[in-house]
Structure 1
């Protein structure tokens, strides 16, 4: 199944483009699911049929789904209370009831990730269109599975389960209950769920589609989005330039806006595969308006993506690690090696990357940002590499 993640700056029309893309694919005969976490149900307004908390048919071959983050949050928190009952009783905590629970910030994103995993593994659809939040929130959302898995592995390492026979003794010595098997089982289940989401995002058939309105603000937002996606190992397969005005207009004010848009479009074509979507003169509502929007097809085979890429050993014995970071600025780049990990920070984006086993036995000799790539030089550590005889 092909997965297309659609995002863009707030107000760029990304949800409408997602609905139009899904409708176009469905009318071409592809079994398509449009997945969205938009709390105002913009996809439903665009399609002329409300979306709900369970998958429902909107048209032949087209299914829509807007997960209910409130229900998922209540179920998860109540289940956690049950699993942590002994610790809560020890602390004298008062249990929360289902009726008093309301979703906390972030619940919508977690519900969307869970729905993304379920939809991608259901083997029911040929195409999954995901209406992501605006770009800053979308990039944080895409980073979440990897970050949470790392937190779990640090807080509850799987190898500690080997000491389960000693827990009663340790509990008596410490005077407090020790983590139970159920806690580790829960952590393992969460890790599997997060790994499934990460696998969907890392799949070579998963791509990102950016939506932006041509202009200076759109250009700045795209540059930031491209860098953030690259740091996550993702790429945009197309850029939808939305609400493009006609070139010829007797109105000098509209003509000036159109000229500004054309300048931005010319700049974008040097970096992206651009698809122009004309301004309808109104907010699209209903399938007739969505059909009038010409959006890029979602069926083409994506190019494989490698991140990061490691060169072969150079003649001077140095290994060069290439990390694609298009749009990155040298002054916004920070690089730290911490043990067997590399901490890469680009502007507001941050990622901790485990080093391959070969590079763990090397020392960092330097790094440079060239042609949209971060190139890190590693020299083998003589004390860790086998010596030739």
Structure 2
């Protein structure tokens, strides 16, 4: 079973590359599903066939699905939404406004991720290709289970118990709607679904992320940031696809400056992403729409490579024994010392890069250890632990 996620800045051609990859794996004899978490839903346009909320066979062995965002919302958010609407109306907000405010931005994409896990668990497919939303939305979605984890494991059980005790008393003192225990059950069920998604997507042998970019300075910068944050949260990038390179057949001098800049950016990508395979596709003379054109794109991108295989082996998070204790390493490519903070508290290591913070639950062997050193080297954060030091000591990352 393989899950391939394609992401990149909007407009780089990730939907076309996703569709082409799915077509190639299906032609290799693998039962394949391609789906989109991008609200733009351009997957149907790529195949030039209508798609709906149920899998539709595009060609033999290849199904495609365009998820019904509203149905996913009803299935996963209705109980929570009803309470939020009641609370907002109690506070004086009108019914229409309350209805709108009760749906948080990005919820549809979140529930699309739950469908990824559902299709993977069905056993109906050998390969699932996911055309993800543009990078900012994708990062928010993939970091959500980590962001909710601390709250759900620590605060949520206490909050639930307190609510059971105070609900009868407060119910007699105020008209404010109070959350029923069933609401807590809905929140917990939603979190458990996201936790299952996290386990699937962080399984480096099953799931790979492939970054799609164009050889342009701003787009490459976005790809580098995305690579850093994906590594921070433990998601494995096994290839970078550089799309729309000027082909050799274009010899008009008008394109010389453009060709030079593309070559510079291509070299920067090669140097920056290290051992991660670099796949390329030319700028074609027409839109890549329909089975025939997508087949051309797949042949250009993968050449002799098999798109369903793991194209690069490398773990974003490792624990290694040393003579003095343990060494934890986290891949943080393109990060300088002043851009990362790390500290140890209790049984967790917190790593912050930019606006994203990841909480890493330490194995039992490290929970009673003290941090003896931390630093960045070769694109990885390295944290040393020694079991003989005072437990629970926090140490900030040296600047």
Deviation at 1:211, TM superposition (A): 0.8
1:133 is paired with a residue of what secondary structure? coil
Structure 2 match to 1:275: 279
1:208-256 per-residue CA deviation (whole Å, 9 max, x = no partner) reads 1111111322332222122111101122211111111123543222132
Alpha-carbon distance between aligned partners in 2 of 1:6 and 1:126, rounded to the nearest angstrom: 17
Alpha-carbon distance between aligned partners in 2 of 1:302 and 1:269, rounded to the nearest angstrom: 16
Structure 1 match to 2:236: 235
Structure 1 match to 2:292: 288
Deviation at 1:68, TM superposition (A): 1.7
Call closer, same or farther: CA 1:28–1:383 in 2, change over 3 Å: closer
Structure 2 match to 1:144: 144
Deviation at 1:376, TM superposition (A): 1.4
Deviation at 1:306, TM superposition (A): 3.8
Alpha-carbon distance between aligned partners in 1 of 2:259 and 2:170, rounded to the nearest angstrom: 75
2:128 is paired with a residue of what secondary structure? strand
The answer to whether residue 376 in structure 2 is matched with residue 372 in structure 1 is no
Alpha-carbon distance between aligned partners in 1 of 2:56 and 2:240, rounded to the nearest angstrom: 29
1:378 is paired with a residue of what secondary structure? strand
Structure 1 match to 2:42: 42
Call closer, same or farther: CA 1:305–1:160 in 2, change over 3 Å: farther
1:327 is paired with a residue of what secondary structure? coil
Structure 1 match to 2:115: 115
> After alignment, is 337-346 or 118-127 more displaced?
337-346
Structure 2 match to 1:299: 308
Alpha-carbon distance between aligned partners in 2 of 1:261 and 1:132, rounded to the nearest angstrom: 25
TM-score by length of 2: 0.83
Call closer, same or farther: CA 1:353–1:169 in 2, change over 3 Å: closer
C-alpha contact 1:246 1:258 (8 A) present in aligned 2: no
Call closer, same or farther: CA 1:339–1:174 in 2, change over 3 Å: farther
Call closer, same or farther: CA 1:104–1:312 in 2, change over 3 Å: closer
Deviation at 1:101, TM superposition (A): 6.1
Which of 365, 368, 372 is equivalent to 1:358?
A: 365
Alpha-carbon distance between aligned partners in 2 of 1:218 and 1:77, rounded to the nearest angstrom: 35
1:295 is paired with a residue of what secondary structure? helix
Aligned positions of 1:1-389 closer than 5 A:
1-80=1-80, 104-157=104-157, 167=164, 171-172=168-169, 181-203=181-203, 204-247=205-248, 249-270=250-271, 271=274, 272-293=276-297, 294-296=300-302, 297-301=306-310, 305-314=314-323, 317-382=324-389
Unaligned runs of 5+ in 1: none
1:237-288 per-residue CA deviation (whole Å, 9 max, x = no partner) reads 1111111112354322213222322232233334231121111123222222
Root mean square deviation, CA, Å: 3.3
C-alpha contact 1:68 1:111 (8 A) present in aligned 2: no
Unaligned runs of 5+ in 2: 393-399
Alpha-carbon distance between aligned partners in 2 of 1:42 and 1:289, rounded to the nearest angstrom: 16
Corresponding pairs, count: 378
Alpha-carbon distance between aligned partners in 1 of 2:262 and 2:138, rounded to the nearest angstrom: 25
1:124-182 per-residue CA deviation (whole Å, 9 max, x = no partner) reads 1111000011222212211112222333223322x787x69x94688449967986543
Call closer, same or farther: CA 1:186–1:111 in 2, change over 3 Å: closer
Structure 1 match to 2:397: none
Deviation at 1:108, TM superposition (A): 2.2
2:328 is paired with a residue of what secondary structure? strand
C-alpha contact 1:205 1:302 (8 A) present in aligned 2: no
TM-score by length of 1: 0.85
Alpha-carbon distance between aligned partners in 2 of 1:88 and 1:137, rounded to the nearest angstrom: 28
2:301 is paired with a residue of what secondary structure? coil
Alpha-carbon distance between aligned partners in 2 of 1:21 and 1:336, rounded to the nearest angstrom: 41
Deviation at 1:60, TM superposition (A): 1.6
2:321 is paired with a residue of what secondary structure? coil
